[in-house]
Amino acid sequence: MAAEDRFLRPEDLYYADGSVVLLAAHAGKTHAFRVHKSVLGSHSSVFADMFVLPSAAERDTYDGVDSVQMPDDAKDLEDLLRALYYPRTILSMLENRNPLAAMKYKGILLLSQKYFVRVLQKLLRARFRADWPSTLPEWDRLMEHYAGLSASVVPQHDAASQFIDNRMLEPASAIRLAREANIPEILPAAFYMLSTISPFMDFDALRSSHPPALTNSQGNVLTWQPGERSARWGLLTPDDWLCLARGRHSMMDFARVFEQQEAQCICDTQICVQLNNKKKLLKGHPQDLLRVLKEIGFQQAPPQYPCYNALQVLASRCMETRSVLWDNLCYYFGLPEVADDQNDGDSDDIALVESEFMDG
C-alpha cells in the first residue's frame, strides 16, 4: 500500500472536483483535504497568495492535483475548512456560554487570525466576548443564572453529572484563549472568577477515573462537594499565576480596609450585626467579595432593630464598593487596561456578525 493511501480523507471535505489537497498531521497521522482554491481564496487573501506561489514546476501533487503541506494541526484545519464549507455547523456549536468553547475553538480562532479569514475571526471573537461579562450588571445576571443551576443540582449515580461547572464558563481556558488570541476584554472577569475557586479543585483531575487524594497545607483531607467549582489550573502560565496571586492579595487588602473603616452603631457591642457583616469579607479563602458585598447590601432589618441605621449605611457602602471593586479588577490583577473596542471594526452584535458570516 502506498504511503499516500494511508492518508485520512474526511468524506465531506474531499471533493472530487477539488483543485488542491491540503495535507496536515494530527496524532501521527496525515489528513488529506481536497478542496477548492477558489473557495479558500474568496475567504482569505493569505490562501489566495499561497495558491499563486510557487511556480507550477515546483508544486507537489497528490491525487492528480496540487498539494500543500500545512504546518497546522489537522483537527484545527478541519474545523476551519468545515466552517467555510458548512457555516451552519459552527453556528450550531457556538451556543451561548458553552463551557468547552474556549478549549474547543481556540485552534480555529487562531487559524482564522493566521490566515486572515476575517468574517470567521469576527464571529468567534464576538461570541467569546459576549460570553464573558464586561459590566457589573452583566456579571450579576450571570451569577444569578449560576445560582439557579446550583440550586437545581440533584445527586446522580453518575458522579460526573454532579459537576455543576459542566454548565458554566471555565476561567483558566478562557484566560489561555484571551492571551493567545489577544482578546483582553474577557480577562478581568475570567481572572476574578478564577480567584473564587480553590486551587485544589482541578477540573480534569476530579473527572478522572481515580481522582487523586487532596490535602491542604495543614495536611487536612479535602473532598469535593456537589456544586463546588473547579478549574483547569494546569493551563495557567507563570505570568498568569502571578496575576492571580496579585489579584487575591489586593482584594484581601481591599476587604481589610473596608472592614476597618469606622461606622457608628448605637449598639456598640462585639455582637453588632453590621460589624459581623463586615467581617464576612475576611472569612474563608478564596472569597467572592462581589457576592458577599451584594449579600450584605441586600440584607434587611426591621426599623426598630438597634443596628438598623448602621446597616442601612453599610448596605449603601457595600453597593458602592462593589462598583469600585469591579472597575479596578485590571489594576488588582495587574492586567492591561481594556480600551474601548468600539472602533476595532468588530461588531459585538452577535446576530449581525452571524448574518455577515452566513452571507460569506
| Angstrom distances, CA of residue 34 to CA of 10, 23, 85, 127, 262 | 9, 9, 12, 29, 72
pLDDT in tens, 89-126: 777 666 666 777 888 888 999 999 999 999 899 888 98
Q: Picking from 9-23, 43-57, 191-205, 323-337, which range would have the lowest pLDDT averaged per residue?
A: 43-57
Instruction: Output the CA angle 118-92-153, nearest 5 degrees.
Output: 125
Average pLDDT, the chain: 82
For the chain, what percent of residues have pLDDT higher than 70?
74
- Three cell numbers at 333? 490583577
Q: Residue 14 is which amino acid?
A: Y
Instruction: Kindly state the helix (H) or strand (E) to which residue 215 belongs, with its residue range.
Output: strand 214-215
With bands split at pLDDT 50, 70 and 90, how would you rate the model's confidence at 265?
low
Is the pLDDT confidence value at 158 over 50? no
Residues 84, 348: Cα–Cα separation, whole Å = 21
Instruction: Kindly state the helix (H) or strand (E) to which residue 78 belongs, with its residue range.
Output: helix 74-85
Give pLDDT, residue 337.
82
Is the pLDDT confidence value at 241 over 50? yes
SS3 18: coil
Helices (H), 198-286: 203-206, 238-260, 273-279
Kindly state the average pLDDT of the residues 245-252: 93
Judge contact between 7 and 23, C-beta under 8 A: yes
Is the pLDDT confidence value at 219 over 80? no
With bands split at pLDDT 50, 70 and 90, how would you rate the model's confidence at 250?
very high
Judge contact between 75 and 107, C-beta under 8 A: yes
In sequence order, the 6+-apart residues with CB closer than 8 A to the CB of 46 are: 114, 115, 116
Is the pLDDT confidence value at 28 over 80? yes
With bands split at pLDDT 50, 70 and 90, how would you rate the model's confidence at 24?
very high
Judge contact between 233 and 214, C-beta under 8 A: no
Whether the upstream peptide bond of residue 212 has omega within 30° of 0, thus cis, is no
Judge contact between 161 and 223, C-beta under 8 A: no
Specify the higher pLDDT residue, 307 or 156. Answer: 307
Cell 461579562 belongs to 133
Instruction: Output the CA angle 165-167-168, nearest 5 degrees.
Output: 60
Q: Picking from 161-165, 202-206, 332-336, which range would have the lowest pLDDT averaged per residue?
A: 161-165
SS3 28: coil
Give pLDDT, residue 317.
84
Predicted structure pTM score: 0.83
Kindly state the average pLDDT of the residues 251-268: 73
With bands split at pLDDT 50, 70 and 90, how would you rate the model's confidence at 343?
very low
Specify the higher pLDDT residue, 44 or 266. Answer: 44
Kindly state the average pLDDT of the residues 311-339: 88
| Angstrom distances, CA of residue 231 to CA of 162, 234, 235, 356 | 15, 9, 9, 34
Q: Residue 172 is which amino acid?
A: A
Kindly state the average pLDDT of the residues 49-75: 83
With bands split at pLDDT 50, 70 and 90, how would you rate the model's confidence at 277?
low
Kindly state the average pLDDT of the residues 157-167: 63
